[in-house]
Each structure stands twice: as C-alpha cells, then as structure tokens.
Amino acid sequence: MEQTNHDDVSSAEVARAYSGSLGASSFQFTPLWESVDYVCSIILSWYDFPDFKGGEALQQLVRAYTIVCRLVSSPCAGCPPLARPSVEGDIVTAAEVTQSLVVYSRICDMIRKRLDTVVGMRFRDAAEQPPPRLLEDYIVEWKRFITSVNMLKFVFSYLHGPWQKYGVPPGLMQSTEVIALNKWSEMLMNTNFQEALTNQIFELVAMDRHHHPNMERAQILREVGHALGVVSDARSNWYVTLVEERYLRQLTDFCKLKTEEMKLGDVEHYIEEALTIFRDETERAIRLLAQSSIQPVVQRIAEVLINDELSFLDEFISSEIVKNRVTQLRQLYSLLSQSQVGLRHLRDEFKKCVIEKGRREINEACERAKNSNTGVYQVALEKVISVYRDFQLPMKAFGDKGDFEKELIDGLHNVLTACSYLDPQNMLGREVARFAHNELISRKLGVRCEEDEGNMNNIVILFRVLPTKNLFVETYPMYLCSRLLSTEYVVENERLLIQEITQTGECTRDFMNKCATMLNDVGEVSERLSEQFREKAGLTDLNFHPTVLNSYFWPNFLPEPEMAIPGYLQMKLLEFGKFFQDVCPRRHISYVNRLSQGVLRFNLSDASPVQGLDICVGVRHLPVAELFNCCAEWELQELIQSVGNDNSNSCLSAINDFAKHGILDIHEEGGVTLKSHLREVLPGCRVSIGRTPDIRNRKIVLHETKLDRETKVDGAGSSDFSPERYDVNTTTEQMVALSTQATLIRAFKSEGTASFSQLFERVENESPAHLKPSIQQMKVALEFLISREFVRRNEDGTDTFSYVT
C-alpha cells in the first residue's frame, strides 16, 4: 500500500488526473491506465492484502474512479488503437469514445486473465483432491470474485458516460458485472472442469441417498447450486445444465428401478412405497437443491410412479371407490394428487363410478315403480339422492373442500339425461319443483331448515343435477305461490332455500328477484299495510287480513265466475281500497276473489266431544254460511235466490263442500238425506245444518287456491290475446316486457284510446333498439295491462283500447 501511494505521488500526470480541476484539457493515457490497472489488480486479489480495507481501500477506489472518469471523458494523448478498428469507424470518431472502448476491452482482458491464471489453476489443483475439496474451493473463489466485481463496478461506473454525451446507440458495451459473469461462464465451459465439478456434486448426492443426511454436505451443495444459478449459459444457467438436469435423469432411473420392485406386491403396497419415495425425495430436494428444482423433482417422480402406471392402478381405484374404504382412498388421493394427470384420471374414474352405479340403481328403481304403477319420478328422485349420499364418504376422503362435487353432479346429470324412464326436457324440472313443494309443506311449522338440513340439501342436490333447469325456474314460483297463499310455509325456510339455490349460480337473477318479492309481499309488505289499516279503521268485529301482491311477480290468476260477496266483507274491501290509494297513490289495486280465504267457527252442542270446528272457506262459501247464521234450514231454491248469485253452480259447489264434511245436510223431497253431490237445483230439496259433522279433525279445509297456469301464446291476429301473461325467464326478456308496458302506459295517458296498430307503431318508435318488442311480446304486454285493469278493450267493434282512469 505504501508503494501505491508513492507511485501515485511521483506521477505528476496521475496526481493531476485525480486532483486537478475539471477544466484540465488533456492527459497521457498510459500513466493513467497503469494506475487504474494497479488498483484493479489489488481489487482482484483483495484477500491477499490485509491493509486493503476501511478508509484506505475507499480512498484508492475513489482515486481509481476519478482517473477512469478522466480516461473516458477527456482527450488523452497516446491512446492505443482498438483491436478492431472497424468498430471505431462504425460509430463516432471522438477521442473520448475511442478511449472508452479501449478501457472496456482492457477490463475484459483483465478479468479473463485473472480467471485463467489464478482461479482456473486453483480449480485444476482442487479437482485432483477427494470431494468436496473442489466444491469448497469453488464457493470460496466465487465469493471472492463477487466481492471484487462489486468494487470494480464502482471504479468503472462512469464508463458509459461518453455514450450518453455523444448519443451513441446503447448495447455496444456491457456493464462491469455482466462482463465478469460472462467471463466466469466461459471458464465453466471447460469440459474437464464441468466433469470434475459434477462428479463431486453427485458423489455428495449419492452419499446423502445411501447414508444418513449430513447438514454440512447439504450446505455445500446448496451454496454451489446458488453460485451456479447466478451464471447464465446458452440455454438457462449453469445450475440447470450441470446439476438439475443430471439430477432429474438419475432420479428417473432410480424411480423406474423402484417401480419394478414395488409392482411385485399388491397395489396397496405400491401406493405406500410410492408415497414414501415422494416424501424422501422431496425432502432431499429441499435439503440439497435450489428452491426452483423442487417442483421439477416432484413432477419427474409423478411421471414415473403415477402417469406411467395408471393402468396398474385403474382396477384398484374403481373398487375402492365403490367399497368406500376411506383409509385406502385417502392414501390413493395423496398419491394421485401429486400429478395433474393422476388427479384428472382419479376424477374421471370417480365420475365413471357415479354413472355406473347411478344408471344401474335408478333404472332398476324406475322399472319396479313402473311395474307397480307407482310414481316413477318420485322414486327416481329419491334414488338420485340416495346415490349422491352413497358417494359422499369417498368424496370426503378426497378432501374436505368438495373438490369432487362437480364430478358427482356431472355423473348424476349424465344418468338423468340418459334414463329412458324420464323426460329431462319436458317433465323432470317440474317434478323436482313438486318434490321441493312436498318437502316444504311436510315440514312442521316452526321447524327451521337448520334443524332439518338434510331435506333442504336434498332439494338443492336435485336442482343441481337437473340437465335443464328452465322448467324448474318456471314451475317453482307456482308452487311457492300455492304455499304462500296458504298457511303451509315458514318464511325462514323458504328464504333459505331460495338463497341456497341462487348460490349455486345456475339460476337467473330474475328467479331470485321473483321469489324474494313474493316472500316480501306476503310477509313484510302485507303485514305492515294490514297493521296500518287496522290501526286506522279500528277493526274489532272482524279479523280482516288483506294480502297485497305485486302483480308482475305473481302468477296471473284466471278470474272466478261472478260470485256474491257478503256486505260486511264488501265494505271492508272498499275501505281498504281507499286506504291503499292514500298510502300508495301511484299504485293500482284490484281484488282477486279466487285467492281470498277465511276461517269460520262452527260451534257444536255441549254433548259433542269437541266444542267447535275451524272451517277454512273461500269467498263463495261466505254467503251460504251467513244465511245459515240466520236460519238453520233452507229450501234449496230459496237459498240460492237469497245468496243473490246469478251463477247457481258456484252456490251448489259451496253447499256440496259443506255437505261433504257433514256441516250441512241435503234432504230430497220426502226427507230422505241425499248422499251424492248436488248437480242441479232439485225441486222440493232442502238444506239444513248437519247433525253429524266430521269431528275427526279440528280443522276442515274447504277452499284451496288452484293455480291454473297453462301459458297460451300463439300467432293469432292482433285482436286475439293470450289469457295468461307470458313467463319472462331471462333478464333480457324481462327488460323488454317492462319497457313495453311502460311505453304503453305513456301512450294511453297521452292518447286515451288507440288501436293495436297505433300502439305498436308508437312503442316501436319510442323503444331503444335493444328493447324493441315483437308483435307477440306487444300482445303479451297489452294483455298484462288488461288483466290488471289498467286498460280495457272497447266493445264497440272498433278494435281499440282505452285507459282506465
């Protein structure tokens, strides 16, 4: 170090280079470079100079950096010519550019000579020694070299300054660290050195495989691998070329040899041994190799032990799935899940087993049901649930996340599609909706779905396996309507089922909105309006509970024939109508007589075992019951006239309903009790309160809401309309329907009266392109407004329609 300081001071040129002003005009190239070269030689051998550290080392580095700045940014006399003059002529003739290229070429030569003369010789000597001497020396020299490169990087960091100054295209010179790594890579290209290095590496690997693991050897291999991975070669890096690829070849040979030995035993023994190999070799790869090699090691083992031996495992896979042997299935899953090919094969075999068992059992059950004249669909659906439950256990053995749920559903889907006893396109969805209806009404009131989760899951299972879900989505709201208009439902159960069906992601948002609105109508909305009405009207004599339904989301009920409504009920309906107009002035309300129902109390004599009966009745029963409150016996013709209903069939139907349960007795002329139902008004026939009513049930149901829901849409003329509102099953169709209805309302409010052609022309002009309706959609929208009494059809023969104000 003293000699270095003396040389620097004695050289006026060097001293002027690192201490002179920035405005100095020119320098001599050779003295400056010799000074830099001397410092670089110390840097490359820094471990041999104990005084080259701390402030002294930093001072030398800064001086060398300053001199390099002079070499590449100021004109220097005596600059040697380039080894390749053509390069100089191709770029810029400025002196600074030429000097930069000369410095660059000398850096390359300096690093190459250092590696060839010092590092390479040490490696050749170490290769003659037993392992792991070469590996230890490689690690030491690599760390020394990287330290030297970091210091050289600082010294020559200004080397690219002239390129920016003169606008020379980049890429002609590489950075110092890249030069260093490239020269180290060239050293590794020596075939003898590669062979010696890999031999010692794999001698340590063999010792680890056949003896107890040694952490010192593992540390050496990991450090060598990391050092080789930093240096690139023609394909990837030297770690992949020298270590990973050879390691994978040896691993393949090892696994193939072990496979032949393992196949001499049974399949269970093969699986256990294969899992042991996976565990041991994965741990070894983590211990010895780089992190990037772990996945290729696992893949290579999987290719040999799993992918190439699937035919050997096939029979065992299917038999264990059918037998539900959980322990064996878990081991099998643990093995096959190591390979994407193996896991996919396991999924296919699982689905195949579902199809085979499902097809066999469902066809047998349907055949028995057909021969015994019982419901084929009910039996088939129950068997689908049974097959699904049978495969729950092996599915859980394959993981708790339901990874094989899709294969189970797809398999049952395939079975139902191929079953010759079922019609998946036109009937199956309807039958699943009926099954859900029966399950929900059979549940006791107050029992939540959480307490009976199995039945609720059964409905969701059947929905998921449906090949076509349109029929279910169309039919389920009809059964939901039937439950909501009776007392056979629990709001929490209904809401939870709709939520679970929606969460499958296999039904439209329109379905969810429709069902949710129906539940909200009979629940929160109607209860709130009913409570407000009772508080305002002060009802005390009549238990009156109006239910307000959103007409668009509920089915369009066919009107009942004209029937008499008792005066006290008519008065309450008028009062509620006025109340509703005050609360919701923009909404139109109409009374649907066929949906109304009530409860009558039929008191019995003191000698009767029960004090009275609760009778669920409809509107047509009320006038008859009201008359018998006044008189215990009536002549049939007089009774009908007193009811005041022009349609005698409605009155006869109500009398027959009462007589069926012994509430009323029908006597022919002469006093003989009529056993059959009345079909017409018989002369001399009398009706009286029954003497022996049916008291087996405390509650008698005479009225049930019937949902006649035959959609009839045809291509008739503009004056012919469907008696039903068309079901909107998709979001787009729903948007078209809503837009058309809104446009029609605007047209009627402005015109008052219009023909079909005028309305269609206006709707077509005012609707956006994506919401323009067809003629049939226009008919459906107009029929909807007529059925809700927003619009009426004029009967003057002009084929026009008027707005109802």
DSSP states of 223-274:
HHHHHHHHSB-SSSBHHIIIIIHHHHHHHHHHHHHHHHHHTTS-HHHHHHHH
pLDDT for 171 beyond 70:
no
What mean pLDDT comes out for the span 756-780?
83
Name the token pair of 453. 């989760």
What mean pLDDT comes out for the span 439-452?
60
Do the beta carbons of residue 792 and residue 802 sit within 8 Å? yes
Tell me the C-alpha distance between 311 and 307, whole Å: 9
699-701 and 800-803 as β-strands: parallel, antiparallel, unpaired?
A: unpaired
- 475, part of any domain: no
- Choosing from 685, 701, 717, the residue where a domain stops is 701
Tell me the C-alpha distance between 777 and 33, whole Å: 91
Of 142-146, 384-388, 487-491, 494-498, the poorest mean pLDDT is in 487-491
Of 147-151, 313-317, 685-689, the poorest mean pLDDT is in 685-689
pLDDT of 777 reads 80
pLDDT for 174 beyond 50:
yes
pLDDT for 224 beyond 90:
yes
- 32, part of any domain: yes
Of 120-129, 256-265, 372-381, 785-794, the poorest mean pLDDT is in 785-794
639 and 754 fall within a common domain: no
HSE-up (13 A, CA, CB side) for residue 725? 24
What mean pLDDT comes out for the span 273-279?
96
Give 439-445 contacts, CB < 8 A, sequence gap 24+: 440/483, 440/488, 440/489, 440/493, 440/494, 440/497, 441/483, 441/488, 441/489, 443/490, 443/493, 445/487, 445/488, 445/490
* Residue range 531-553, pLDDT digits in tens: 888 887 765 556 788 888 887 78
Q: Could you tell me the pLDDT band of residue 8, with boundaries at 50, 70 and 90?
A: very low
753-755 and 800-803 as β-strands: parallel, antiparallel, unpaired?
A: antiparallel
What mean pLDDT comes out for the span 426-444?
87
- 12, part of any domain: yes
Task: Look up residue 74 and give its amino acid.
Answer: S
- Choosing from 196, 214, 242, the residue where a domain stops is 196
pLDDT of 14 reads 72
743 and 693 fall within a common domain: no
Question: Over the chain, what is the mean pLDDT?
Answer: 83
Name the token pair of 143. 């760390």
36 and 168 fall within a common domain: yes
* More confident: 71 or 461: 461
Tell me the C-alpha distance between 270 and 265, whole Å: 7
Tell me the C-alpha distance between 54 and 50, whole Å: 10
* Boundaries of domain holding 739: 731-803
Q: H or E stretch including 493?
A: helix 491-503
Orientation of helix 176-188 relative to helix 133-155, angle to 10°: 160
- 316, part of any domain: no
Tell me the C-alpha distance between 245 and 243, whole Å: 6
63 and 157 fall within a common domain: yes
pLDDT for 509 beyond 90:
no
How many domains does the chain fold into?
Answer: 3
pLDDT for 746 beyond 60:
yes
pLDDT for 3 beyond 50:
no
* More confident: 567 or 192: 192
- 229, part of any domain: no
Distance of CA 124 to the CA centre of its chain: 60
Tell me the C-alpha distance between 7 and 157, whole Å: 24
Domain CATH number, residue 633: 3.30.230.130
Instruction: Determine what percent of the chain is predicted with pLDDT higher than 90.
Output: 38
pLDDT for 56 beyond 70:
yes
169 and 130 fall within a common domain: yes
pLDDT of 152 reads 95
798 and 747 fall within a common domain: yes
pLDDT of 396 reads 86
pLDDT of 163 reads 60
H-helix segments, 584-711: 621-630, 636-643, 648-660
* Cα distances (Å, whole numbers) of residue 145 to 33, 111, 139, 188, 233: 22, 10, 10, 14, 18
Of 410-424, 516-530, 664-678, the poorest mean pLDDT is in 664-678
Instruction: Determine what percent of the chain is predicted with pLDDT higher than 70.
Output: 85
Tell me the C-alpha distance between 162 and 183, whole Å: 24
* Residue range 31-52, pLDDT digits in tens: 889 999 999 999 999 999 999 9
What is the DSSP-derived secondary structure letter of residue 309? G
pTM above 0.75, yes or no: no
* More confident: 132 or 570: 132
Do the beta carbons of residue 517 and residue 550 sit within 8 Å? yes
* More confident: 363 or 752: 363
* Residue range 75-106, pLDDT digits in tens: 788 888 876 544 444 444 567 778 888 888 89
Is the bond preceding 132 in cis, omega lying within 30 degrees of 0? yes
30 and 81 fall within a common domain: yes
Q: Could you tell me the pLDDT band of residue 714, with boundaries at 50, 70 and 90?
A: very low
DSSP 323-358: HT-HHHHHHHHHHHTTSHHHHHHHHHHHHHHHHHHH
Q: What angle do CA 43, 49, 54 make, to 5 degrees?
A: 75
Contacts for 517 with CB less than 8 Å, ≥ 6 apart: 550, 553
Tell me the C-alpha distance between 29 and 74, whole Å: 10
188 and 41 fall within a common domain: yes
Name the token pair of 577. 């109508």
Tell me the C-alpha distance between 27 and 35, whole Å: 13
pLDDT of 165 reads 62
DSSP 498-550: HHHHHHTT-S-HHHHHHHHHHHHIIIIIHHHHHHHHHHHHT--S---------
pLDDT for 6 beyond 80:
no
* More confident: 459 or 70: 459
Within the chain, what is the greatest distance between any pair of CA atoms?
A: 153
Q: Could you tell me the pLDDT band of residue 721, with boundaries at 50, 70 and 90?
A: very low
What mean pLDDT comes out for the span 3-22?
56
Tell me the C-alpha distance between 164 and 288, whole Å: 46
pLDDT of 38 reads 92
SS (H, E, C) 690-738: CCCCCCCCCEEECCCCCCCCCCCCCCCCCCCCCCCCCCCCCHHHHHHHH
What mean pLDDT comes out for the span 349-372?
94
pLDDT for 613 beyond 90:
no
Name the token pair of 300. 């290579």
pLDDT of 169 reads 60
pLDDT for 709 beyond 70:
no
Tell me the C-alpha distance between 784 and 353, whole Å: 50
Tell me the C-alpha distance between 374 and 380, whole Å: 11
Q: H or E stretch including 76?
A: strand 76-77
- 225, part of any domain: no
pLDDT of 492 reads 86
Do the beta carbons of residue 468 and residue 424 sit within 8 Å? yes
- 716, part of any domain: no
Do the beta carbons of residue 239 and residue 228 sit within 8 Å? yes
Q: How many residues does the chain have?
A: 805
Q: What angle do CA 370, 373, 378 make, to 5 degrees?
A: 70
175 and 29 fall within a common domain: yes
| Nearest Cα residue to 645 out of 677, 678, 628, 623 | 623
55 and 192 fall within a common domain: yes
Residue 553 has φ and ψ, to the nearest 5°, of: -90, -15
80 and 180 fall within a common domain: yes
- Choosing from 178, 196, 214, the residue where a domain stops is 196
- 364, part of any domain: no
* Per-range mean pLDDT, top range of 305-309, 402-406, 625-629: 305-309
Q: Could you tell me the pLDDT band of residue 284, with boundaries at 50, 70 and 90?
A: very high
What mean pLDDT comes out for the span 665-675?
78
pLDDT of 732 reads 61
| Nearest Cα residue to 220 out of 161, 117, 137 | 137
User: Alpha-carbon Rg of the chain, whole angstroms?
Assistant: 47
Domain CATH number, residue 771: 1.10.10.10
pLDDT for 431 beyond 50:
yes
Domain CATH number, residue 142: 1.20.1310.10
pLDDT of 674 reads 77
Handedness of CA 480, 418, 355, 341 (dihedral sign): negative
DSSP 442-487: HSPTT--GGGGHHHHHHHHHHHHH-S--HHHHHHHHHHHHHHHTSS
pLDDT of 401 reads 62
699-701 and 612-618 as β-strands: parallel, antiparallel, unpaired?
A: parallel
679 and 768 fall within a common domain: no
pLDDT for 638 beyond 90:
no
